[in-house]
Amino acid sequence: MPLISFFPMHSHTARLMAVGILTLFLSACSVLNANSQAPAPKPDLSELAHQAAERIVAGNPDITLYSPMIAATFVDIDNLSQSSTFGRISSEIMASALARQGMQVREVKMRDSMFIEESVGELILSRRVQRLSAQHDARSILMGTYAQGQDYVYVSARVVRSGDAMVLGTADFRLPLNNNTRSLLDAGGW
């Protein structure tokens, strides 16, 4: 039985309605198909840092024995005396992620004895490691570097034993370079 016989209208009107219904149906199918093939969102800094912390602890389950830990601001690999908002927030997020993995993290910003250079953060240079870790009674230190490429920011994080600077655990990741990441890297963010 033809489709036109279902409609008590003129055949031209019935055809237009059939075409309209078919168009709506196909549009709905294409929307459903487009949604099912949408690309997965790119991971953000927090997600990547938490995955890195999991890898650090998985690589050395005894790392939590070297608590408490203090966190140093991550620094630019091309200038180890310079950081940015990106370096500071990377360090903060990694410290939080390691705390969630069982590491005891000492908050050094609450201590008056810690000198924080306004434009840099809590930088840990090799000559200060022993003094600073003793000052905060830390058995380990979270340290890290980052490098900006054309499409990514590369981050290398490591937990170092404060007594002899031996690396206890390490993890690396790369973050897609977008406008948000660029704004964290630009001009130190202060």
Is the entire prediction scored with pTM above 0.85?
Answer: no
Q: Per residue of the chain (190 residues), give pLDDT as tens.
A: 554 455 455 666 666 666 667 666 666 665 555 555 667 677 899 999 999 999 999 999 999 999 999 998 899 999 888 889 999 999 999 999 999 999 999 887 655 444 445 445 555 544 455 566 666 678 999 999 999 999 999 999 999 998 888 999 999 999 999 998 999 998 554 4
pLDDT at residue number 26: 64
pLDDT at residue number 118: 47
Superfamily of domain 45-189: ABC-type transport auxiliary lipoprotein component (3.40.50.10610)
In contact, 53 and 100? CB cutoff 8 Å = yes
Provide the residue ranges of all domains of the chain, joining segments of one domain with +: 3-36, 45-189
Residues 6+ apart with CB under 8 A from 91: 71, 72, 73, 74, 121, 122, 142, 144
